[in-house]
Chains A and B, each alone.
Chain A
Amino acid sequence: MPILLLIIVLGVLAIAGFILGRRRALASVEGNTRRLHSLPNYYAWHGAIMAFLPAMAVLTLWLIAQPLIIERQLSDFFPAEQFENDSQRILLMADVRRVAEGLDVAVAAGALSNDDAANISADGTIRDRLATVGVALGADVTAQVLEASQAYRKLAATGAFWRSIVALIIAVAGLFYALRITNGDFRARNRVEAVILGVLVLASTIAILTTVGIVLSMLSETIRFASMYPFKDFLFGLTWQPSFQGNSELGLLPLLWGTLYISLVAMIVAVPTGLFTAIYLAEYASPRVRSIVKPLIEVIAGIPTVVFGLFALVTVGPFLRDWFAVPTGLGSSGSSVMTAGLVIGVLNIPFISSLADDIINAVPQSLRDGSYGLGATKSETVRQVILPAALPGIVGAILLAASRAIGETMIVTMGAGAAAKLDLNPFEAMTTITVKIVSQLTGDTEFNSPETLVAFALGMTLFVITLGLNIFALWVVRKYREQYE
């Protein structure tokens, strides 16, 4: 039974559980709902959950485990040394799966009978026969692979059969169990609440586990990198000169400098502008102006960064070069820290203004009244009462924007270039960590060289920087919380 159909059947059982659970609960108290421990709907949900959830959980586990088990069983078909090597095994299994799928398609299309598929031999005909039904096989199919794929088909079919049986049995069992224990005294509400709690906890762990997974995978690659390239040279090296013939210099500092410099320019643009915009919108603008201006500003946030990159490349870069860099003799390049910084700054304005506007609006009106009531003007009130009260939130917004600026890639590639340089001149081309991560990983490079693996070390660095920013933000927020609440 295909998975989708199986899930639909489970869904139907769940609906049955919903209806029957409710009916049974009501029947057990002769329709007098006041004698039920919980509202009838809780019994209904309990029936549905018991029919669906355990079966679904087993199904999920099965789907994860089955390929692993099949793979283990197929090891008999191949020489042990081939199967021990990770990358070779992955390639072999991909071949096996591909041939097996090809056979499936051929059978489904009627080009082969099921017996044919099981008995076909590894002469040249298999490629041609599969080609006639539109399945192209890459390399020659060896006898081993063909046999393995036939075994794979058999195992997969058995697995699918038992999978459906087991899932259905569990679903029906769950349904009957739910109905059996349903009566007026059964605490269905507590059960349902526990399930809801479980779902919530699961949801929050998924995000955490993903982060942990990302960090661990980056960490392991970073450690591999450190075993190939002296980590001290990476952290404190002043030159970035990867060369794929070997003896590259992979110093982090020029990239880190470029990242921080560009982000600094961006924040110098974005923070005052965004904050002033927010103050204007929240405190001064009439409702009509606000209802027009706010969405207009937020349009900026919806523009893809590539478009901003083009703007940097075509308009801002040449403009800065012709009107500032060349006349002042500071440089002759259109790509520069200034170009990228300005454009990233503009990109971040709506981000800051929109968040800060919400935060300022959340400051209670009574504080404004208190200040106006003492004869303070609007700007005095904003400066001395509203901004201090909104400060934790505003700091949070700014740090969020800073993380975005640090992680920005597209605009930097197009606006600041790709030259890794340690320079103070803001009209020089420079580049950032993110740009180099992309450029080290793109192209046909071996995955085992320090030139490629350095991307993970760079990613790790970026992660540590943003983590540091966030911890700092939390610290600021907490400090002011304590003081003001």
Chain B
Amino acid sequence: MYDAPTPETRLTQNTLKITARGVQVYYGDKQALKDVNVDILDNTVTAFIGPSGCGKSTFLRCLNRMNDTVASARVEGEIMLDGENIYDKRVDPVQLRAKVGMVFQKPNPFPKSIYDNVSYGPKIHGLTRSKAELDQVVEDSLRKAALWNEVKDRLNEAGTGLSGGQQQRLCIARAIATSPEVLLMDEPCSALDPIATAQVEELIDELRASFSVVIVTHSMQQAARVSQKTAFFHLGSLVEYGDTSHIFTNPSDPRTESYITGRIG
């Protein structure tokens, strides 16, 4: 066994960003996640795949403690971000979420103007010193999210007046405007046409240079295209986690193989 170093093996030398150990999530009495262990690397795109209802969104929401806002949810186990347990009492979830941004499964623009939607994060975190700088951040974010050309003349119109796919890109722009260290994206392309999807995938690839990106997707092709690491969830457990090329060509678990070849899910 002597493989030439592939891009993937080089990536494993990237620093660890997030490590999850023994994560269990309950909604009331119902267990949604069972004993999940994952290492998420810096400057890497990690894809979560798996059939509907298997707990991908739930796990994603653990990574920035969004489950705190669900009254019935209870999280056990340990999730370390840069070596610090984010479920520690001393950690302020508000600061954590500024570092770990999120794009939700359903587009949820604020009932504000497009400009205000994007500038929301930079404003509350005081990231810019002048209006000009803020304008620049808004423009950059919208450009990266492949929305700028469509909205540059109507920045003062309501974000809720955009089409579903435009709203989703607006939410992406909103999330990257805060310049997080980790970006969690829950099916960011489910409402996008192929062109916008390609643009967002390009963006994800760019973001990898500076952030760590976690993306939930139902599209095997997308996972294969954009990610370096893939985790396959099934019925609340993490079945298999490894290099994307490995998972898609040579899965070690039969459930993974049936899923990616379309036999379950």
Give the one of A287, A364, A377 with max B CB within 10 A: A377
The answer to whether B158 and A374 touch across the interface, beta carbons within 8 angstroms, is no
Partner of A370 from B96, B108, B125, B158 at Cβ < 8 Å: B108
B125 CB to nearest chain A CB (Å): 6
Q: In residues 150-175 of chain B, which contact A (Cβ within 8 Å)?
A: 158, 160-161, 171, 174-175
Judged by a CB distance under 8 angstroms, whether A129 is at the interface is no
Q: In residues 323-361 of chain A, which contact B (Cβ within 8 Å)?
A: none
Judged by a CB distance under 8 angstroms, whether A388 is at the interface is yes
Partner of A364 from B102, B108, B124 at Cβ < 8 Å: B108
Judged by a CB distance under 8 angstroms, whether A127 is at the interface is no
The answer to whether A388 and B101 touch across the interface, beta carbons within 8 angstroms, is no
Contacts of A388 in B (CB 8 A): 110-112
The answer to whether A374 and B124 touch across the interface, beta carbons within 8 angstroms, is yes
The answer to whether B106 and A374 touch across the interface, beta carbons within 8 angstroms, is no
Contacts of A366 in B (CB 8 A): 104, 106, 108
Top 8 closest A-B pairs, CB basis?
A375-B98, A484-B111, A366-B108, A373-B102, A375-B97, A370-B108, A374-B121, A389-B111
Give the one of A365, A367, A372 with max B CB within 10 A: A372
Partner of A375 from B71, B109, B110, B124 at Cβ < 8 Å: B124
Q: Given A366-B104, A384-B120, A484-B111, does the pair A374, B178 have CB atoms closer than 8 Å?
A: yes
Judged by a CB distance under 8 angstroms, whether B6 is at the interface is no
A389 to B109, CA, bound (A): 11
Q: Given A367-B111, A389-B111, does the pair A373, B120 have CB atoms closer than 8 Å?
A: no
A485 to B110, CA, bound (A): 11
The answer to whether B158 and A484 touch across the interface, beta carbons within 8 angstroms, is yes
The answer to whether B158 and A373 touch across the interface, beta carbons within 8 angstroms, is no
A377 to B96, CA, bound (A): 11
Judged by a CB distance under 8 angstroms, whether B69 is at the interface is yes
A260 to B104, CA, bound (A): 48
Judged by a CB distance under 8 angstroms, whether B209 is at the interface is no
Partner of B97 from A367, A372, A384, A485 at Cβ < 8 Å: A372
Judged by a CB distance under 8 angstroms, whether A87 is at the interface is no
Give the one of B66, B111, B121, B158 with max A CB within 10 A: B111
A365 to B97, CA, bound (A): 17
A377 to B104, CA, bound (A): 18
B131 CB to nearest chain A CB (Å): 18
Contacts of B124 in A (CB 8 A): 374-377, 380, 384
A interface: dominant SS: helix
Partner of B94 from A368, A369, A377, A483 at Cβ < 8 Å: A377
Q: In residues 203-229 of chain A, which contact B (Cβ within 8 Å)?
A: none
The answer to whether A374 and B104 touch across the interface, beta carbons within 8 angstroms, is no
A3 CB to nearest chain B CB (Å): 56
Q: Which A-chain residue is minimally distant from B178 (CB atoms)?
A: A374
The answer to whether A287 and B111 touch across the interface, beta carbons within 8 angstroms, is no
Q: Given A364-B108, A372-B66, A374-B124, does the pair A287, B71 have CB atoms closer than 8 Å?
A: yes
A322 to B123, CA, bound (A): 49
Judged by a CB distance under 8 angstroms, whether B95 is at the interface is yes
B120 CB to nearest chain A CB (Å): 6
**What are 6 A-B residue pairs whose CB atoms fall within 8 Å in the complex?**
A366-B108, A369-B104, A372-B97, A374-B121, A375-B124, A376-B124
A344 to B229, CA, bound (A): 65
A429 to B125, CA, bound (A): 51
Q: Given A367-B111, A389-B111, A483-B158, does the pair A372, B125 have CB atoms closer than 8 Å?
A: no
B151 CB to nearest chain A CB (Å): 16
A413 CB to nearest chain B CB (Å): 44
Interface residues on chain A, size class: 20 to 34
A93 to B120, CA, bound (A): 75
The answer to whether B160 and A484 touch across the interface, beta carbons within 8 angstroms, is yes
Q: Given A367-B110, A484-B111, does the pair A374, B69 have CB atoms closer than 8 Å?
A: no
Partner of A374 from B71, B97, B160, B161 at Cβ < 8 Å: B97
A375 to B178, CA, bound (A): 9
A218 to B94, CA, bound (A): 59
A388 to B116, CA, bound (A): 12
Judged by a CB distance under 8 angstroms, whether A371 is at the interface is yes
A160 CB to nearest chain B CB (Å): 63
Contacts of B178 in A (CB 8 A): 374-375
The answer to whether B98 and A374 touch across the interface, beta carbons within 8 angstroms, is yes
The answer to whether B111 and A375 touch across the interface, beta carbons within 8 angstroms, is no
The answer to whether A374 and B108 touch across the interface, beta carbons within 8 angstroms, is no
Partner of A371 from B71, B106, B110, B160 at Cβ < 8 Å: B110
Judged by a CB distance under 8 angstroms, whether B44 is at the interface is no
B63 CB to nearest chain A CB (Å): 11
Judged by a CB distance under 8 angstroms, whether B64 is at the interface is yes
Contacts of B104 in A (CB 8 A): 366, 369-370, 373
The answer to whether A369 and B66 touch across the interface, beta carbons within 8 angstroms, is yes
Contacts of A19 in B (CB 8 A): none
Q: Given A287-B71, A484-B158, A484-B160, does the pair A373, B111 have CB atoms closer than 8 Å?
A: no
A372 to B109, CA, bound (A): 13
The answer to whether A375 and B112 touch across the interface, beta carbons within 8 angstroms, is no
A69 to B66, CA, bound (A): 76
Q: Which A-chain residue is minimally distant from B95 (CB atoms)?
A: A375
Q: Which A-chain residue is minimally distant from B120 (CB atoms)?
A: A374
Q: In residues 118-138 of chain B, which contact A (Cβ within 8 Å)?
A: 120-121, 124-125
The answer to whether B110 and A370 touch across the interface, beta carbons within 8 angstroms, is yes
Contacts of A484 in B (CB 8 A): 111, 158, 160
A287 to B69, CA, bound (A): 13
The answer to whether B66 and A373 touch across the interface, beta carbons within 8 angstroms, is yes
The answer to whether A371 and B120 touch across the interface, beta carbons within 8 angstroms, is yes
The answer to whether A374 and B112 touch across the interface, beta carbons within 8 angstroms, is no
The answer to whether B94 and A385 touch across the interface, beta carbons within 8 angstroms, is no
Contacts of B98 in A (CB 8 A): 374-375
A137 CB to nearest chain B CB (Å): 71
A483 to B160, CA, bound (A): 9
